[in-house]
Every structure is written in C-alpha cells, then in structure tokens.
C-alpha cells in the first residue's frame, strides 16, 4: 500500500506569500499533493511538479485542452459547504449539495472534505466515501476513534486522508488499526515537520527483511570477469549495503564503500556488487541482473538489521576485475554462491562485523537473505529451477 502526504495550503493558511513558502517547503520535502483554492492552481503549477487538489465552490468542471486555464489534478468539495459545517447537514443525506456535486461529477477525479464534529459528520464522511476518490477527514475533539471507525467501514471504496499537524500524528494515522489511513493532510508551516512527515511516509511503507547467517564453505580465486559497481544518487550509512548473488534464492549482504582506507577514499554512494550475471534485489521484492541496471533505476538498500529503503542508480560502472567465488551454506543446508571482486575494499557482513572479502575463510558466517523461491524475469514464481 502506497501512503501519501498532502499539504494544506488554502487561504486558511494565510496570504499568498505564506502559502507559497509552505508549498515550496513541501515541494523540497517531497509531498505528494498540495491542497489549495481553485484560484491558486496556476500559481502552484509555476512553483514545481506536484499533484494539485483544489477546493471547489461546487461548480466542478473539466477544462478543454485548448483553454488557457490550468486545471487541478483533483477537485475537492466540502469547504464553505456541508463538509466543514458552513452549511447545516440535511437530515436526509440524499438532499446533500456536496454529495450531489460528487455524483454529478463522477467522471472527474474528485474528493470530499469533512470535519468530524460529531457522529452525524462521521456518518456523512462515510456517505462521501461512497462517492469520492478521496475522502479527507479532519478530527475535532476526537481523532483516533472516528478514524478507526472510518477505516473499518469504508474499506477500499476511497482513499482515506486524515488531517494531522505533526509527523508523529502522521505515524499514528498510518498505523491505526494496522491498515491505517491512505494518506495524511498536513497543516503546518514547520519545514522540519514537513520533511519528517515525508520520512515517516517512506518508512511506513518499507519492507523489513529477515536476514540470516550462512556458513562460508568455499572461497576461491577465479579469473577476471565483468564486475559492476552500483553508484547511486544516495549516500549510504556505515551499516548499509545491498543484497546480491548468483542465485535469486540466496543473496549476500555486501556493504557500501563507506569505510576509509589508507589507499582509497570512501565512496558512500557505491556498492561493488559483483559480476554482470548476478542479481540485485529491488524495492518491489524482485530482482534485476546487474548487467541490466542503468541510470534512473531503483535498487533496494538494506542495513544489517534488515531495514530497507530505496536508492536511485546514478550509473552502473562495468570493468574487468579479478574475482573470488564465495560459497555458503544456509541454515536449511542449501548451497548458495556469488562472485565478488578480489579487493580489500569489498566488505561483507560476518558475525564479527564488516569483513573484507579477501579475509573470508571457510567456517566464517556471513549475512544473507534466503528465500526458497524461483524467479522469472525478476518475478517470484512457483517452479522447480536448478541453479548451480
């Protein structure tokens, strides 16, 4: 499930300069959406690329391509209407102006905005969810209980977006009832809080891997091979690296080149990953051949505890280098192996910590990710495949 961060930037935030500063901070932090008034859509377009949701006055329409006016990516009804309490809720929701607008414009990407004042507004939000692509709910005196109720009742009918003011509020929203809200609408001018909320979004959706130790059974020099260095557009921490190997079912943890040495400067953006035939794990849980990697691809970065994140490939650097063949036996007795460059700067993770591949010996235990499954074009499949 992909989470999203929306940033509130309508006229309730302040004048245009105040809104502009907030939107700019959001763009720099990586928010997914900004929520503005219709009159600001063209100005937001000029600030940068981001999804724009605009509060509608009820006259929702789609502009023709040839018209000069710039349209938003989503229209939101409910402000200055029934959703925010400006207009009283009808006793019978069938007479709701907000719901009528949503139904009338069902062919557009649209959403509803509801402030939860009491149980009636909670029920109204549920009715909005049945009609809208996005349902934005703002808790008043209570936040968690209405959100729990809506998560349980709405299901996948809509993307449920809940109002928050801090990154910790966002974390709670994403984790409520385990399923959590699909997104949060952040209302703050604090640049750090905007950035932290985007970091929380990214962390919540990331995979946690169960790494294990495998015993080294052979380390032997081979001839030269075409070796791939994965140079990313991201800096890696000292305990981070990537999962690579000759067999998709068993991938070796190879550290990033974050360590200084007397002979070579650290390159914390790089993983010296192995020969061109080897696999590297990707953020979607699949694999790619090292030979396939090119600028703009995503690879998975993992630390020694199994926490993961994404990194963008800046370049894949291929050169002929002398190699080691490293073979290890998993806890289940399966033999896995890979080719790694014969150099002191290439480090794997053993029980003693970072260890140069040149210092590996049979009997050492190194960190691997083992998954007894076959792959086809990087996708897991139920098929009997022999790799040796």
Residue 64 has pLDDT above 70, yes or no: no
For the cut 90, the answer to whether the pLDDT of residue 71 exceeds it is: no
**Tens-digit pLDDT profile for residues 342-384:** 999 999 999 999 999 999 999 999 999 998 765 544 555 555 5
Residue range 86-118, pLDDT digits in tens: 999 998 998 899 999 888 865 556 899 999 998
pTM for the whole structure:
0.76
Higher-pLDDT residue of 307, 384: 307
323 close to 222: Cβ distance less than 8 angstroms: yes
User: Which pLDDT score is estimated for 375?
Assistant: 55
Q: Which pLDDT score, from 0 to 100, does residue 65 have?
A: 38
**pLDDT-based confidence at residue 141 (cuts at 50, 70, 90):** low
Residues with Cβ within 8 Å of residue 346, at least 6 apart in sequence? 254, 272, 340, 356, 357, 358
Residues 329/212, Cβ–Cβ less than 8 Å: no
Question: Mean pLDDT, to the nearest integer, of 154-175?
Answer: 89
Tens digits of residue pLDDT in 190-237? 999 999 999 999 988 788 999 999 999 999 999 999 999 999 999 999
Query: What pLDDT is recorded for position 379?
Result: 54
In a 3-state reduction of DSSP, which class is residue 118?
coil
Query: Is residue 263 very low, low, confident or very high in pLDDT (cuts 50, 70, 90)?
Result: confident
Per-residue pLDDT at 181 = 86
Mean pLDDT of the chain: 89
Instruction: Identify the DSSP state of 345.
Output: T
Instruction: Say if strands 33-37 and 51-55 run parallel, antiparallel, or are unpaired.
Output: parallel
Which residue is it, tokens 């409910």? 78
The whole-number pLDDT of residue 76 equals 95
Strand 4-8 and strand 33-37: the pairing is parallel
Would you state the pLDDT for residue 156?
76
pLDDT given for residue 347 in this prediction: 96
Q: How far is the CA of 26 from the CAs of 12, 32, 44, 167, 186, in angstroms? A: 17, 9, 11, 13, 10
User: Helix 97-104 to helix 119-129 angle, to the nearest 10 degrees?
Assistant: 10
The answer for residues whose C-beta is within 8 angstroms of residue 7's C-beta and 6 or more apart is 22, 23, 26, 31, 33, 34, 35, 185, 186, 194
């Amino acid at each position: 499930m992909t989470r999203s961060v929306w940033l509130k930037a309508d006229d309730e935030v302040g004048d245009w300069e105040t809104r502009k500063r907030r939107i700019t901070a959001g763009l720099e932090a990586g928010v997914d959406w900004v929520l503005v008034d219709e009159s600001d859509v063209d100005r937001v377009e000029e600030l940068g690329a981001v999804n724009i949701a605009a509060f509608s006055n009820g006259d929702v329409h789609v502009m023709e391509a040839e018209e000069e006016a710039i349209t938003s990516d989503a229209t939101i009804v409910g402000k200055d209407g029934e959703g925010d309490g400006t207009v009283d809720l009808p006793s019978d929701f069938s007479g709701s102006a907000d719901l009528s607008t949503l139904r009338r414009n069902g062919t557009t990407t649209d959403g509803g905005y509801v402030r939860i004042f009491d149980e009636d507004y909670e029920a109204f939000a549920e009715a909005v969810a049945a009609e809208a692509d996005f349902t934005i709910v703002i808790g008043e005196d209570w936040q968690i209980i209405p959100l729990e109720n809506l998560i349980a009742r709405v299901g996948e009918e809509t993307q449920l977006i809940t109002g928050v003011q801090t990154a910790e509020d966002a974390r709670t929203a994403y984790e409520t009832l385990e399923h959590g809200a699909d997104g949060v609408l952040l209302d703050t001018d604090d640049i750090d809080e905007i950035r932290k909320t985007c970091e929380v979004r990214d962390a919540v959706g990331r995979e946690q891997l169960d790494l294990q130790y495998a015993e080294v059974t052979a380390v032997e020099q081979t001839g030269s091979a075409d070796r791939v260095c994965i140079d990313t557009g991201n800096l890696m921490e000292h305990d981070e690296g990537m999962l690579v190997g000759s067999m998709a079912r068993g991938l070796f943890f190879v550290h990033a080149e974050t360590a200084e040495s007397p002979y070579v400067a650290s390159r914390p953006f790089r993983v010296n990953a192995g020969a061109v035939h080897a696999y590297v794990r990707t953020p979607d849980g699949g694999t790619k051949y090292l030979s396939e990697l090119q600028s703009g691809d995503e690879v998975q970065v993992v630390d020694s505890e199994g926490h993961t994140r994404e990194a963008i490939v800046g370049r894949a650097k291929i050169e002929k280098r002398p190699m080691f063949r490293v073979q290890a036996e998993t806890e289940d007795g399966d033999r896995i192996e890979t080719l790694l460059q014969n150099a002191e700067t290439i480090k794997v993770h053993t029980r003693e910590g970072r260890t140069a591949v040149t210092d590996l010996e049979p009997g050492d235990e190194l960190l691997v990710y083992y998954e007894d499954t076959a792959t086809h074009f990087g996708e897991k499949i139920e098929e009997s495949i022999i790799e040796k």
